[in-house]
């Protein structure tokens, strides 16, 4: 498929995972989901990333988000690797890891970037909304591990901005002031945001986070 863009439908697939065979859309249901690729089993950076996702899984649970990894190695390899992930990260692998030896999922989600590496995936990450649409993508090279706290931070922003007419500024964290959407007039903003707002510029209006 390739060239997935924000707002596109997240492609469906059926695949073997460390939690059994699953159909992605059925497994996901109307939750949020985070699908992320790892270049290869038994590699150092991937081992640290999976361990960290396992340790922070409760943060995703709290936000109604399911997490699922994918790597282009077979299931028996994943099962062997799971012990190392638990050893290194201190938490058992507590979410499904897709075995994708025929690269079905990797191709559907354009996770192999041939000018970087023609067999292994890059570190792709997709946040998918309850409507199965892509809300955010990240692409990192094999040599750079991702920041799981950043994934949680952007999930907080996506969930907040899906429900309120606000946007989140640079370096925002849950609890910080947010920005009122420029589409809202000052008069409407006074009604919608009873905690009030501060206009730094006519188009840059801060208000306390509305769901706090």
How far apart CA 97 and CA 82 sit, in angstroms, is 9
For residue 205, what is the DSSP state?
E
Q: Which is nearer to ligand BEZ, 20 or 44 (CB)?
A: 44
- Strand 166-167 relative to strand 65-71, pairing: unpaired
- The catalytic position among 15, 34, 35, 46 is 46
Q: How far is the CB of 103 from ligand BEZ (least distance, A)?
A: 15
Position of tokens 């920041």? Answer: 147
How far apart CA 160 and CA 168 sit, in angstroms, is 9
Q: Which is nearer to ligand BEZ, 43 or 55 (CB)?
A: 43
How far apart CA 7 and CA 12 sit, in angstroms, is 15
Report how many residues bind ligand BEZ under the rule CB under 6 A: 9
Cβ count near 14 (within 10 Å):
13
Q: Is 36:71 a contact under the CB 8 Å cutoff? A: no
Q: Of 35-43, 162-170, 188-196, 200-208, which segment contacts ligand BEZ by CB under 6 A?
A: 35-43
Q: Which of 4, 10, 33, 45 binds ligand BEZ (CB under 6 A)?
A: 45
Structure tokens at 82: 């799971």
Footprint (CB under 6 A) of ligand BEZ, residues 141-180: 142-143
Structure tokens at 158: 């996506």
Contact between 44 and ligand BEZ by CB under 6 A: the answer reads: yes
Q: Which of 28, 32, 39, 122 binds ligand BEZ (CB under 6 A)?
A: 39
Position of tokens 């309120």? Answer: 164
Q: Which of 16, 27, 31, 43 binds ligand BEZ (CB under 6 A)?
A: 43
The alpha carbon of 35 is separated from its chain's Cα centroid by a whole number of angstroms, namely 6
46 classed as catalytic: yes
Q: How far is the CB of 70 from ligand BEZ (least distance, A)?
A: 14
Q: Which is nearer to ligand BEZ, 7 or 44 (CB)?
A: 44
Contact between 136 and ligand BEZ by CB under 6 A: the answer reads: no
Q: Which residues are catalytic?
A: 46
Footprint of ligand BEZ (CB under 6 A) = 39-40, 43-46, 120, 142-143
């Amino acid at each position: 498929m390739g060239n997935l863009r924000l707002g596109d439908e997240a492609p469906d697939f059926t695949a073997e995972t460390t939690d059994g065979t699953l159909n992605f859309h059925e497994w996901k249901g109307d939750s949020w989901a985070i699908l992320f690729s790892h270049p290869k089993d038994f590699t150092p950076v991937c081992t640290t990333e999976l361990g960290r996702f396992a340790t922070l899984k409760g943060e995703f649970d709290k936000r109604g988000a399911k997490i699922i990894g994918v790597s282009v190695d077979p299931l028996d390899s994943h099962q062997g690797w799971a012990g190392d992930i638990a050893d290194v990260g201190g938490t058992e692998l507590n979410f499904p890891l897709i075995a994708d030896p025929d690269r079905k999922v990797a191709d559907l989600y354009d996770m192999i970037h041939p000018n970087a590496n023609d067999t292994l995936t890059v570190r792709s990450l997709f946040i998918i909304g309850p409507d199965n649409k892509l809300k955010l993508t990240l692409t990192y090279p094999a040599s750079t591990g991702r920041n799981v706290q950043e994934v949680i931070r952007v999930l907080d922003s996506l969930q907040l901005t899906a429900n309120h007419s606000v946007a989140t500024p640079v370096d925002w964290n849950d609890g910080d002031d947010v920005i009122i959407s420029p589409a809202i007039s000052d008069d409407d903003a006074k009604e919608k945001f009873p905690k009030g707002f501060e206009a730094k510029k006519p188009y840059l209006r801060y208000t306390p986070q509305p769901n706090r």
